[in-house]
Amino acid sequence: MIVSVTLNPTVELVYDLESLNINGVTRTNHVNKFPSGKGLNVSRVATLMGYDNIATGLLGDNLKQVVESSLDEDGMHHQFFQISGQTRNSVAVLHDGQQTEILEEGPTITADEANAFIEHYDTLIADAQVVALAGSLPQGLTPDYYIDLMHRAQKKQAKVIIDASGSTLKEVLASPINPFAIKPNLDEIQELSGQTIDTRDYQAIIQLLDDAIFEGIELIVISMGADGAFVKYGQRYFKASVPSIEVENAVGSGDSTVAGIAIALDQNEDIETLIKRAMTLGTLNALEKRTGYVTKENYPKYFDQTTVTEI
Ligand code: ADP
């Protein structure tokens, strides 16, 4: 069983306008409202592929029902913990060929809530093989909190995947406890290492991944969009290539890749199958308009067109 954790979800509002009347009123029926968060995407994709999972995290009373009814519609299992603060909205306005976004900072989690969520989490992970900690931390929680969640899961023999960026990922990697897997994209690995990566220079990537900060992490998947991925597993290295497709919306492809890693670990698949599964789900997401969404029937076709080569 897979548990995904989304500590800072949002309900996105997307207004698709022909033009925006600045300092005036713009009326529209073209609005889309949906819950968004990396862990939610991981769980949705695992659900769509038919694998047992549960989504958890923190939700304010203001949007709890909106989020939960949307997850119900998608047939997802979820057990969120209610906080006293308000879950954030984010607003994207598509207008005049441009995109304007407003992102709320979100709630501040109290120490009592942080402790109470740990209890809730401990119950949920009792039977988990894999735990995916995905996305940013809300105000009030520090990277130590992710490290604690990771430690608790590992004590129960679960494999932990961390998909975070910036200082959160940096601090997690600096801690003495290591996640089983991370999935940085190119930008994230460049930020982490302070180096620019030439995706064709495999030896330079190998050298970079031999840096002490990555020591003890079993699986590192550097996802590279249409260029597939570079993977380190133990002391083995792989390059994955994905088929060339017409992209509808690649937002959420990284989360779908994390879903693939989680499913493969849950199913004890070999490393080549894991990489192909992770890549295929990223590609399937890019074929869809909806973020964090895949069509299961497309899976075999794209799986067969994905290749993995050991370096
Ligand atoms: P992130 O969303 O974290 O930035 P990527 O953009 O690297 O992640 O995408 C994750 C994976 O999704 C890639 O490794 C690849 O398998 C798949 N993918 C993403 N973009 C494309 C694309 N244009 N064509 C085919 N597959 C893609």
- Each residue of 116-142: pLDDT tens digit? 999 999 999 999 999 999 999 999 999
pLDDT of 99: 86
pLDDT of 55: 98
Q: Is the ipTM of this complex over 0.90?
A: yes
pLDDT of 195: 87
Containing 187, the helix (H) or strand (E) segment is helix 186-193
Q: Which residue has the tokens 């203001």?
A: 62
Helix (H, G, I), strand (E, B), or coil: what is residue 161? strand
| DSSP 8-state class, residue 226 | G
Whether the Cβ atoms of residue 147 and residue 177 lie closer than 8 Å to each other: yes
Whether the Cβ atoms of residue 159 and residue 128 lie closer than 8 Å to each other: no
Which residue is closest in CA terms to ligand 1's atom 24? 226
pLDDT of 223: 97
pLDDT of 193: 87
Q: What pTM did the predictor assign?
A: 0.95
Q: Which amino acid is at 13?
A: L
Q: Which of 51, 54, 109, 61 is nearest to 79 (CA)?
A: 54
pLDDT of 98: 86
| DSSP 8-state class, residue 246 | -
Alpha helix positions (H), 106-165: 111-124, 143-155
pLDDT of 35: 95
* Pocket test residue of 197, 242, 244, 253 for ligand 1, highest count of atoms within 8 A of CB: 253
pLDDT of 96: 84
Q: Convert the pLDDT of each residue in 180-201 to its tens digit.
A: 999 999 999 999 888 898 999 9
Whether the Cβ atoms of residue 135 and residue 183 lie closer than 8 Å to each other: no
Is 283 a pocket residue for ligand 1 (Cβ < 6 Å)? Answer: yes
Q: Which of 197, 193, 92, 188 is nearest to 135 (CA)?
A: 188
Which residue is closest in CA terms to ligand 1's atom 6? 225
| DSSP 8-state class, residue 258 | H
- Which residues of the chain are under the pLDDT cut of 70? none
Q: Which amino acid is at 36?
A: S
Q: Which of 123, 128, 161, 121 is nearest to 1 (CA)?
A: 128
Which residue is closest in CA terms to ligand 1's atom 16? 279
* Pocket test residue of 230, 238, 257, 305 for ligand 1, highest count of atoms within 8 A of CB: 257
Is 42 a pocket residue for ligand 1 (Cβ < 6 Å)? Answer: no
